Structure 1
Amino acid sequence: MIKCIIVEDETLAQHVLQSHLQKVERLELVATCNNALEAKEVLNKREVDLMFLDIQLPGMTGLNFLRSLSNPPLVVLTTAYAEYAVESYEYNIIDYLLKPVSFERFCKTINKIVDGRLFTQDTKEKDNLSADHIFVKSNSKFFKVNFSEIIYVEGMKDYLKIQTAGYSLVTLQTMNEMEKILPITQFIRVHKSYIIAVAFIKSIYGNSIEMENKTIPIGVNYKEKVMHLINKR
């Protein structure tokens, strides 16, 4: 789990971030702080991996607080003012979120953090093992999709189709992003345009995989991975 704190003095903004954090199982909210002093106490007592930090705080600004830390956690800045963006990047922050923060924009930030560049593969594997669903935005709604329901994911340029036994969803996301989210113990990418659920494989023959009412091609660059899957089981 990635342990997070929110440093924010506005109640509404606190609630928005808390709600977003609760929807992502790999994130654990350790504390919500109203100012830099409270945040400093938490950082001294608790293990914190990621801090959502408001720039305009009472007493000490978020940037001054960040400047005072000798060993800060990963930081995502939040503010209602876009003009602080250039200055904030001098502090090597992960991302800069403008309020009100949408869940879609929040998820893009989290994907950037957990895509392997900032946390180890072991952390990703453990988190994927503990999660059992994903929230997918389609037609302005967020749908909860259990990993156990997904038969395959098909790439369509900038969009993905997530196919289950009872329905399909089309969402704005890339194959690489989805591959990093799905549990590696349950899913395998077999083509540049297809990720499939191992549980729904009926047969593998030649360069094709027979699924539920669908035949999936095996890409040349993915053939070795598929053969490894066969030999391992």
Structure 2
Amino acid sequence: MTYKGYLIDLDGTIYLGDKPIKAGKRFVDRLKEKNIPFLFVTNNTTKTPHVVKKRLQDSFDIDVSADTIYTASLATVDYMNDKGLGKKVYVIGEEGLKEAIFSSGFVLDEEHPDYVVVALDTDLTYEKLAVATLAIQKGAHFIGTNPDKNIPTHRGLMPGAGSLIAGIETATQKSATYIGKPEAIMMKKALERLKLAANEVMMVGDNYETDIRAGIDNDIDTLLVLTGFTKKEDVATLPIAPTKVIDSLDEWQV
């Protein structure tokens, strides 16, 4: 089948931490050469699209526009705007998430926020966890930007946002509303941005739990590339098989 567009993960698919995955660049180059639209769909909330664009260019020699980058931060803002509960928010997260939220008209409130948004925060403290827990107990709508338990890096699998969110779920006895892959919230918005239907695109990624389930759960064909989170030995035991499984993006013809 020929796909009209691609939704593509970044970390573990195009690069691995600070290390380039050279086949990832070649894959993007082939898409650009054939004028096939694509959108990088990433659960990473720590960087803005413009920072991601610059990093792709400077570190991995991949030249794309910021408009091709859709983060879980942007999807979270889209969700909060659609939900319409108010404009007060408490955020555990880094600059990419905070800039997206506060530049969209939301304001910080630690005591009685309408939303508590929790994402990866490498400066996490007990006090931040306490403020979030108390606000959720008072009735704030609890949002987890993405469920990733781990992040693949050159050091190995590091704790991800899902690990932090799980701790607050335990403390509050409340379940978060998750935004990022594999949730429909993010995938529907990504398809809107790409201006294509689910049956016209392929979801490309390295993580079965997020990237591939994002496709399976939302009726999008999937391409699992074994360069990051999910390993070759795991494939035989996956509950629902991806549409295709490859060792390298060099194997995929667009």
Band of TM-score, shorter chain = 0.3 to 0.5
TM-score (norm 2): 0.31
Question: Bigger radius of gyration, 1 or 2?
Answer: 1
TM-score (norm 1): 0.34
Which has a greater percent of strand? 1
Task: Report which structure shows greater RCO (CA 8 Å, sep ≥6).
Answer: 2
